[in-house]
Structure formats: structure tokens, C-alpha cells
């Protein structure tokens, strides 16, 4: 039994895993877990990941959750090029440093525009006031300023002259607002130039393939949402709507 990756490309971390595996010619079977249909709650998927989240990996009888753990596992098992997760101690520490900061900053803030503009109206039928979106974009702007000043600085990529897992995890998150018309790269030339370099390093065709769903997210307006998923997300949505 070969490598299986359980993914939904609407998910930012899933896109990172997908791009990394494809770019490095890692053979895998794509197992599509459709989040809006609640497939993550099915008993079959629970045997792969009891946390009921994607991405998830199954390699024979071995299973693994969490995107960072999966990316590191793939990089080690398949001996991917060193620049992704450098063997140099200090360069590797820079990747680790970014990934540690990422979850409570870029990841925490970048996805909220999608929820406010598309997902909350889709799940609840209610539209949030423009002030709520502006509040989210102001929070993201703080994270973007820190990203540029602390992590990117004047380097081509976060670690230096080559792309790493840090850049990959960052870019998939920052594409989330783009899908709902919030162009965070506009008027940020340093960030925009970095994005172009990341796309080139990954390959524009692969990059577009991975982001096709999120860039057409508004087409989901007529999708049928799984009732169990609505019930599960209700407390989260109520908190975001306050």
C-alpha cells in the first residue's frame, strides 16, 4: 500500500502539502475529503485521523496528522532538496522560527476574510457589516508588517536565496483573502515581489492548480452544507459574528 494524502484544496495547509508533494515528485494517492460535505466526520476517515481534520497522511499502516509534521515527514522520507528544510542549523532554525510564529499570526488572521465575506453568509444566510471585514484586515495588516520586517526583510525568501517550507506555508495562507477579492499584495511591493518569486520557485502551473478552488470560492454559494458541519461550527460562527 502506497502513500495516501487526505486533502481538500480549499484548506490552506492541504495546499501546502499538495504543492510540496507534487513539486518534489513524491508519488501519492490523492484522497479527497470534502469538508463542506462533512466527510471529515465519517467513520472511515476517523480511522485515518481521529482529530477529524485535514491534511492527513497514511503510509502503509502509519498515519500522521498536522501539516507541519506531514511536510517534515515527507521531506525526510523522500530526501527532498535541502533548501526546503535546510540541514544548516541556523537556516533550519529560521524555518522553525517562522513556523512557530505563523500559526498565531498569519494563519490566525489571513483566513478570516474568507469567513466574513463568503462562509458565514453561506452557513447562516446573514451578511456581516463592512466594519467587521475592516477590523479583520487591520489585524492582518499588523501581521503582514511583522512578516516583512522580521522574516522577509530584504531577502528573496524567508531563509535567504531559496524557497523553504516557511515560504510555502506563508503563501498558501496569504492567497486565502485573494479568493474573496481582498488583494493584500496591492500597495505592498516587497510582499508582491516575494509572492512572484514563490510562484516561480513552485511553478506557476502547479501554483494555479493548487489554488483553483480558492480563487473561485464564490462559486460555492449554491453548495449544500452538511447539517452536522453546520452544528459543529455554530459556536465558532457565533463568536465571529459578535
Confidence of residue 65 (pLDDT cuts 50, 70, 90): very high
Q: What is the pLDDT of residues 172-190, one digit of tens each?
A: 999 999 988 999 999 999 9
| 97 CB burial (10 A radius; 0-12, 13-18, 19+) | middle
Secondary structure element (H or E) that encloses residue 134, with its range: helix 130-146
- Mean pLDDT calculated for residue range 65-74: 98
- Mean pLDDT calculated for residue range 100-124: 89
Confidence of residue 200 (pLDDT cuts 50, 70, 90): very high
DSSP 116: I
CB 176 within 8 A of CB 111: yes
Q: Write down the pLDDT at residue 234.
A: 66
At residue 125, φ and ψ (nearest 5 deg) are 80, 5
pLDDT at 37 over 90: no
Higher pLDDT, residue 231 or 173: 173
Q: Write down the pLDDT at residue 226.
A: 73
pTM of the model: 0.94
Give ranges for CATH 3.40.30.10 in the chain.
3-84
Give ranges for CATH 1.20.1050.10 in the chain.
89-241
Nearest to 168 by CA among 97, 78, 98: 98
What CATH superfamily classification does 3-84 receive? Answer: Glutaredoxin (3.40.30.10)
**Residue 220 to residue 213: CA distance in whole angstroms:** 9
Q: Distance of alpha carbon 229 from its chain centroid, rounded?
A: 20
- Mean pLDDT calculated for residue range 123-152: 92
Average pLDDT, the chain: 92
Q: Say yes or no: domain 89-241 is CATH 1.10.579.10.
A: no
Amino acid at each position: 500500500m502506497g502513500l495516501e494524502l487526505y486533502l481538500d484544496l480549499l484548506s490552506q495547509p492541504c495546499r501546502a502539502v499538495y504543492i510540496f508533494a507534487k513539486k518534489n515528485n513524491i508519488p501519492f494517492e490523492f484522497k479527497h475529503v470534502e469538508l463542506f460535505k462533512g466527510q471529515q466526520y465519517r467513520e472511515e476517515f476517523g480511522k485515518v485521523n481521529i482529530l477529524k481534520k485535514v491534511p492527513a497522511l497514511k503510509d502503509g499502516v502509519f498515519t500522521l496528522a498536522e501539516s507541519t509534521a506531514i511536510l517534515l515527514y515527507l521531506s525526510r522520507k523522500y530526501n527532498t532538496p535541502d533548501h526546503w528544510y535546510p540541514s544548516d542549523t541556523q537556516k533550519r532554525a529560521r524555518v522553525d522560527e517562522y513556523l512557530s510564529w505563523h500559526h498565531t499570526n498569519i494563519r490566525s488572521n489571513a483566513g478570516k476574510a474568507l469567513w466574513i465575506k463568503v462562509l458565514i453568509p453561506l452557513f447562516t444566510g446573514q451578511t456581516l457589516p463592512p466594519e467587521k471585514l475592516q477590523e479583520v484586515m487591520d489585524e492582518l495588516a499588523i501581521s503582514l508588517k511583522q512578516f516583512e520586517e522580521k522574516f522577509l526583510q530584504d531577502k528573496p525568501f524567508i531563509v535567504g536565496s531559496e524557497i523553504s517550507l516557511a515560504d510555502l506555508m506563508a503563501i498558501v495562507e496569504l492567497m486565502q483573502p485573494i479568493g474573496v477579492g481582498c488583494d493584500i499584495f496591492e500597495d505592498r511591493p516587497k510582499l508582491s515581489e516575494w509572492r512572484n518569486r514563490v510562484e516561480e520557485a513552485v511553478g506557476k502551473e502547479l501554483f494555479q492548480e493548487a489554488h483553483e478552488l480558492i480563487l473561485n470560492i464564490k462559486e460555492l454559494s449554491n453548495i449544500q452544507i452538511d447539517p452536522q458541519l453546520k452544528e459543529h461550527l455554530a459556536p465558532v460562527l457565533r463568536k465571529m459574528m459578535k
